[in-house]
Amino acid sequence: MEGVLLPVCPSPSSRATPSPKIPIPQRSSFPSSHRSFPQNAPPFSLRNSLRTSTFALAQHQPPVLGKPDNPSPALPKIDKTGRFCSPRAARELALSIIYASCLEGLDPVRLFEKRLNARREAGYEFDKDTLLEYNHMSFGGPPVTVESDEEANELLRHIEEESAIEAEVLTAPPKLVYNKLILGFTRKLLVAVRDKWDSHVLIINKIVPQNWKNEPAGKILELSILHLAMSEMAVLETRHQIVINEAVDLAKRFCDGAAPRIINGCLRTFVREMELEPSNNQV
């Protein structure tokens, strides 16, 4: 995949946050595991997620242009076989593969197929009950301040539970978690990303903020979301509003700070450029 944006240099982003009376460690997005990636792979997220717990939900976040005030309920998650069946799950899985392929310098389609065909470790069993507890629509909120040891302990307990569920789901063998239709959709997304990678690198370089270009190793996840969304719109021709809303939700779930708003603006610029292409070709 020529044009992969970077060698990875972990550089946690700095955020001005109110000092809690009792400090609470932040959760990490996309935990790595030897079941998903090589044992020497770096952690899936280069920085800590703003998502701290179910106590810090998205009602405190400023609205994002183009996002409805009252979003629709989450799509059905589990089919009759007990596997994820919503497009949101496919996009999450595709994002995890794109991110890992950037870190490892591999073709995302080959990496996906490698994960699909990987042998399970001896004695490994996947707890399918975790699928019912996993929430694709859990978004981050502002940093949490607690007033007592009891509140801190309760918050940490929720964080640990959510992290364990997320790690179990995102690192399990994909065939145990996603149904065949979702795995097929995921592969189509990854093929589109691979085929459009070089041309989209050039476009992304024009539309992202200068600070993202100055520090691409700190924005791998955000840039991966842009590649995923742009490729789905350009190749699979999914409706623009659906793809942009999904990309913003992925950014809210896994990225920091202003990423959802910036990704929203970048994708709208990309859509406007796509719509102008036919008229430009006629001139």
For 12, list phi and psi in degrees, rounded to 5.
Answer: -55, 135
Instruction: Give pLDDT, residue 74.
Output: 53
The dihedral sign for the CA sequence 108, 161, 165, 56: negative
CA distance 182 to 83: 9
What residues are paired with 48 via a beta bridge? 28
Instruction: Give pLDDT, residue 134.
Output: 87
Q: Which residue has the tokens 């691409």?
A: 216
Instruction: Give pLDDT, residue 53.
Output: 27
Q: What angle do CA 93, 94, 96 make, to 5 degrees?
A: 65
Quickly name the fold that domain 58-282 has: N-utilizing Substance Protein B Homolog; Chain A (1.10.940)
CA distance 20 to 262: 28
pLDDT along the chain (283 residues), means of 10: 40 38 42 34 34 30 41 65 92 95 94 91 85 79 76 87 86 92 97 96 94 88 97 96 96 89 96 78 48
CA distance 97 to 103: 10
Instruction: Give pLDDT, residue 281.
Output: 52
CA distance 28 to 171: 14
Q: Helices 108-117 and 180-207 meet at what angle, rounded to 10?
A: 150
Domain ranges of the chain: 58-282
CA distance 116 to 146: 42
Alpha-carbon distances, residue 82 vs 4, 77, 130, 132, 220 (angstroms): 36, 9, 11, 9, 32
Cβ–Cβ under 8 Å, residues 53 and 165: no
Of 9, 21, 47, give the one whose Cα is nearest residue 221: 47
